[in-house]
């Protein structure tokens, strides 16, 4: 029996909700007609799915639902409600007499304390009026400004990238051929509309003047730290996955040859005879190598030997200057190690 | 920021994973003799410069003989597989040590097989 009582109460509360919403909406229409009509015209031109009325209704339903739950809770909220009623009494703004009558009727239909319910409903209505006044003046979210600054839809590069990525699918069929996405598939269409709306709003947000809602956080230092600490193992795995997916086997001989050229198996055509040889040294550095013989003794067989070595190196076109210098230095080291032996002789 | 790090990681991954090809990749040598030959070639490449220089000291009439004797000992101390004389030009596909044509690195049998199937570029049966 208790459960049935509760269900009936809930039904009554829902009916009361509907009546309040209807009453409130009628009152709202009477007052905020002209600005709303202007908004609707603008919206109609832009074909954006933002509806002012729906938002208000949602707000109302939420608040009324909260109220209903509070009422069902009962004695805990009495004190807070009493405070609210006193606040309402202090407010000088008079409510519409029709609204007051409607509120009293609704309160009488509710099972709980009638006076309390009436006062609560009136408080709700006052709050709604405040919200509408604010929106008229332009204190809260001013949709009109945002919409007016929106321009004609042009394809942004990010949008184009999204479309291209939607077209190129990396999935493979059983046969091994790629699945081509259908052009007029419903999912892609909705996503396109969704994306277009998103990018419109994004562009308008960028274009318009600053609202100064958020403060710019210093993210530069964080970024610098992040580059040093990463890459983690997961990043490596992710990179490996990407490499494995993007490296598709070649579809024809040309792609195979391209792959080979990249790996270095195949030479680049037209053949460059000096490919791989990056000798920036002048000819005199190759030939006049006597300056490297400074540390050697100036007399004796070693000097004779080293001069022959230099003569041979200067005629060698295959070694780079660095390699020649290394050659001479090796001999230097070798003879320094054998100095004791040489002095015995 | 994250893109640059990811790019670096991608490059590293590419080096680690050579492009996955669907064809057969030779992961084993034909036989152990071929493997030993490969080891000898690697070592010979490593010690080529040293051997050349020590030999330059040895095959010399100017330097004193004592120095040349010391050089002899040094070159004998190097690993035995580092001398290029031990390398055998085997066939690349069958590891045959004899009958290998140097230009194609193939033994005569394999060469003949490919030439008859027209898989050797510019090779034709001789007729005169």
Between residues B25 and A273, which one has the greater pLDDT? A273
Residue A188 has pLDDT above 70, yes or no: no
HSE (CB half, 13 Å, CA atoms) of A258? 9
A104-128 average pLDDT score = 77
Query: If pLDDT is split at 50, 70 and 90, which confidence band does A214 have?
Result: confident
Looking at the fold, whether B117 and B74 belong to one and the same domain comes out as: no
Specify whether B51 is located in the same domain as B98.
Answer: no
Q: Which CATH number belongs to the domain containing residue B121 in this structure?
A: 4.10.830.10
Write down the pLDDT at residue A280: 80
- My answer on whether B101 and B78 are in the same domain is no
b or e along A296-313 (b: 16 or more beta carbons within 10 Å of the residue's beta carbon)?
beeeebbeebbeebbeeb
Is pLDDT above 50 for B14? no
State what percent of residues in chain B have pLDDT above 90: 72
Residues within 8 A of B (CB atoms), A 33-72 only: none
Closest CA to A200 of A40, A52, A49: A49
Interface test with B, best of A239, A255, A312, A336 (most B CBs within 10 A): A239
Q: Which residue has the tokens 């709700």?
A: A124
At B57-104, the pLDDT tens digits run 999 898 888 899 999 999 999 999 999 999 999 999 999 999 999 999
Q: How confident is the model over A24-35, as a mean pLDDT?
A: 53
pLDDT tops 50 at residue A87: no
Q: Model's pTM, two decimal places? A: 0.44
CA neighbours closer than 13 Å in the CB half-sphere of residue A34:
1
Q: For the segment A304-339, what is each residue's pLDDT rounded down to a tens digit?
A: 999 999 999 999 988 889 999 999 999 999 998 888
Query: What is the average pLDDT value for chain A, to the nearest integer?
Result: 71
CATH number at residue B66: 1.10.287.1480
Residue B122: give the domain boundaries. 89-127
Query: pLDDT-derived band of residue A210, with 50, 70 and 90 as boundaries?
Result: confident
**A331 in contact with B at a CB cutoff of 8 Å?**
yes
B41 and B83 in a common domain? yes
The dihedral sign for the CA sequence A323, A328, A329, A331: positive
Same domain? For B74 and B95 the reply is no
CB-based contact, B60 to chain A, within 8 Å: yes
Give percent above pLDDT 90 in chain A: 14
Question: Are residues B104 and B73 located together in one domain of the fold?
Answer: no
pLDDT value of residue A75: 46
Q: Which residue has the higher pLDDT, A34 or A268?
A: A268
Number of domains within chain B: 2
- Among B2, B5, B14, most A C-beta atoms within 10 A, so best to mutate, is B5
Q: Is A309 on the interface with B (CB under 8 A)?
A: yes
Looking at per-residue pLDDT, the higher value among B103 and A35 belongs to B103
- Is residue B6 domain-resident? no
Give the closest of A236, A249, A345 to B64, CB-based: A345
């Amino acid at each position: 029996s208790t459960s049935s009582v509760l269900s009936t109460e809930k039904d009554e509360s829902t009916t009361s909700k509907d009546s309040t919403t209807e009453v409130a909406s009628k009152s709202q229409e009477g007052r905020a007609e002209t600005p709303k009509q202007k908004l609707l015209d603008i919206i109609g031109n832009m074909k954006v799915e933002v509806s002012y009325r729906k938002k208000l209704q949602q707000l109302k339903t939420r608040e009324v639902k909260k109220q209903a739950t509070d009422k069902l809770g009962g004695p805990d909220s009495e004190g807070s409600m009493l405070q609210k009623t006193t606040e309402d009494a202090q407010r000088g703004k008079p409510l519409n007499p029709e609204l007051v009558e409607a509120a009293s009727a609704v309160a009488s239909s509710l099972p709980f304390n009638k006076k309390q319910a009436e006062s609560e409903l009136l408080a709700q209505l006052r709050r709604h009026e405040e919200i509408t006044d604010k929106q008229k003046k332009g204190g809260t979210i001013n949709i009109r400004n945002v919409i007016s600054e929106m321009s004609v839809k042009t394809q942004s590069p990010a949008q184009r990238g999204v479309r291209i990525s939607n077209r190129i699918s990396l999935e493979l069929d059983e046969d091994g051929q790629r699945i081509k996405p259908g052009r007029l598939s419903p999912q892609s269409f909705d996503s396109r509309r969704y994306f277009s709306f998103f990018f419109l709003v994004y562009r308008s947000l960028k274009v318009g003047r600053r609202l100064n809602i958020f403060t710019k956080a210093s993210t530069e230092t964080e970024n610098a730290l992040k580059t040093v600490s990463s890459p983690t193992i997961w990043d490596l795995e992710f990179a490996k996955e990407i490499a494995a997916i993007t490296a598709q086997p070649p579809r024809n001989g040309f792609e195979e040859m391209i792959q080979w050229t990249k790996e270095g198996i195949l030479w680049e055509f037209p053949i460059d005879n000096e490919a791989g040889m990056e000798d920036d040294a002048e000819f005199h550095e190759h030939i006049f190598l006597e300056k490297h013989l400074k540390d050697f003794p100036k007399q004796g067989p070693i000097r004779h030997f080293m001069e022959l070595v230099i003569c041979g190196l200067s005629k060698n076109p295959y070694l780079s200057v660095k390699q020649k210098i290394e050659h001479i230095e090796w001999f230097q080291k070798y003879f320094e190690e054998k100095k004791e032996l040489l002095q015995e002789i | 920021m994250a893109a640059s790090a990811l790019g670096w990681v991608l490059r590293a991954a590419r080096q680690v994973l050579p492009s996955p090809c669907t064809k057969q990749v030779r992961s084993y040598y034909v036989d152990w003799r071929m493997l030993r030959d490969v080891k000898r070639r690697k070592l010979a490449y490593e010690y080529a410069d040293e051997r050349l220089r020590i030999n330059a000291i040895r095959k010399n009439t100017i330097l004193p003989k004592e120095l040349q004797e010391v050089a002899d000992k040094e070159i004998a101390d190097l690993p035995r597989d580092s001398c290029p004389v031990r390398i055998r030009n085997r066939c690349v596909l069958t590891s045959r040590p004899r009958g290998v044509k140097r230009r194609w690195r193939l033994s005569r049998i394999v060469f003949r097989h490919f030439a008859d199937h027209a898989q050797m570029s510019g090779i034709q049966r001789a007729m005169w």
